[in-house]
Amino acid sequence: MQLLSAKPWFRRRRAGLGWRPVTWQGWLVTAVAGGLVVAVLAVMRASSARIPIAVLILALYAIVALLTGGARGQDHVQPVADRSGSAAVAPSVSGGSRAPASPAPRPPSAPSTSAAPVLVVEHLTKAFDERIAVDDVSFSVAPGEVFGFLGPNGAGKTTTVRVLATLIAPTSGSALVAGIPLDPANGVAIRQRIAVMPENPGLYNRLSVAENLEFFAGLYGLRHPEARISRVLEAVNLVARANDPCGSLSKGLRQRVGLARALLNDPAIVFLDEPTSGLDPVATREVHGLIDGLRGHGVTVFLTTHRLEEAEQLCDRVAILSTSLRTIGRPDELRDRLFTKMLLVRTVAPLRAPERVFAGLPGVERWRTDESAGYELTVSDPRVAAPAVTRALVAEGADVLTLTEARHSLEDVYLELMSDDVETRR
């Protein structure tokens, strides 16, 4: 009888006895069975056969519930299949309410250049009447890459995500999303290959975590989603909260439910719009761990965020947008592109003849005294200049306090690019 519906009519209750209808067919069967029981009890008031007949009706109802999907689903967690078809462990965070241990710092892995891009955008433009929200934007994203999309409020970040997610149509330009041309005719196919997690996950507060996921699994057309729901709950460490109403969860936990929902359809691209907005440091670190786990399993993450330190920590590459695309590249490449390389020297006492110490050293292009009575050396390559400067200072007999390379953050890059932006100055 399950073949009559793409979704089971009934589902075994997680707590208590019996089954609950989950489709209109199930509700119809329940209504008919209830009506028959009431009718038998009302019509056959004086008959001794009314109770056995009512019991028979309830037994038939139970048989129908079992035959149409009322058996208990699988409770074990299924492994996640990676893009190569082999089994892999789902990305997860530490169990319980404790914060996971901080992973050892490591630079993001370089995006794959051998595989075809999973997202290609060419000359994308979106205008709302006379206002241009996105102006002639082009970029590509590699499989398994965490791609940061940065910019001030009103820069067009969310509009770009909505266009690529087929929620609104572009004014001009083209795109390939998960290998599928961005076209109204391909909207369903694209939405089956992507997932979007907005800043507000949009959950139903009166439904439990599992019931929310069951509902959205139905929208994706997933048959018998119990195993997949168990897998994503394990991935975001919410197995113990599966039966809790979403309205009772903290914002951090609701964000994790939203991420679990985004993983239900095994997407090739996950669009995350400000996923850590309003979260405390512990919840933020957990979300960071989940994002890093997605990258490790070949899922492409398109991340919009205002937290520049977050983008620097997580993203393989970043694009800085202010209606039009200002720049794109790895954070270290952007620093090298915008800022000169410098060494900062601090000594106990000022050098007697700094021009004699620094002049002609390998890799040193020029020098000057800074405001704190130290020295700023502009260099072509810190790895060449630093040893030479160290030897020269020792030969001079200087007492060196520090000799460090000046490091510009992604925030410095962002502010340098946005310094002449009219919207930012407002």
187 band by pLDDT with thresholds 50, 70 and 90: very high
Position 110 pLDDT exceeds 60: no
The tens digit of pLDDT for each residue in 341-385 reads 888 999 988 888 888 899 889 989 888 887 777 898 888 888 899
pLDDT of residue 112: 52
For the segment 239-253, the average pLDDT, to the nearest whole number, is 90
Superfamily of domain 119-334: P-loop containing nucleotide triphosphate hydrolases (3.40.50.300)
pLDDT of residue 153: 83
The mean predicted confidence, pLDDT, of the chain is 80
340-407 CATH fold: Alpha-Beta Plaits (3.30.70)
pLDDT of residue 405: 85
72 band by pLDDT with thresholds 50, 70 and 90: very low
The predicted model scores a pTM of 0.63
392 band by pLDDT with thresholds 50, 70 and 90: very high
User: Same CATH topology for 119-334 and 340-407?
Assistant: no
If one compares 120 and 368, the residue with the highest pLDDT of the two is 120
pLDDT of residue 103: 40
- The C-alpha torsion from 186 through 145 and 310 to 81, rounded to 10°, is 80
**Domains in the chain: boundaries:** 2-70, 119-334, 340-407
pLDDT of residue 53: 79
Q: Which residue has the tokens 């983008």?
A: 311
Candidate from 33-37, 150-154, 201-205, 391-395 with smallest mean pLDDT: 33-37
Q: Which two tokens stand for residue 40?
A: 């038998």
How many percent of the chain have pLDDT more than 90? Answer: 29
For the segment 293-299, the average pLDDT, to the nearest whole number, is 83
For the segment 143-166, the average pLDDT, to the nearest whole number, is 91
pLDDT of residue 85: 36
pLDDT of residue 126: 95
- Contact assessment for residue 312 and residue 410, using Cβ atoms and an 8 Å cutoff: yes
The tens digit of pLDDT for each residue in 303-347 reads 998 788 888 889 999 998 988 998 899 888 887 777 778 889 999
Report phi then psi at 15, rounded to 5: -130, 140
421 band by pLDDT with thresholds 50, 70 and 90: low
Position 277 pLDDT exceeds 90: no
pLDDT of residue 212: 93
For the segment 235-245, the average pLDDT, to the nearest whole number, is 90
215 band by pLDDT with thresholds 50, 70 and 90: very high
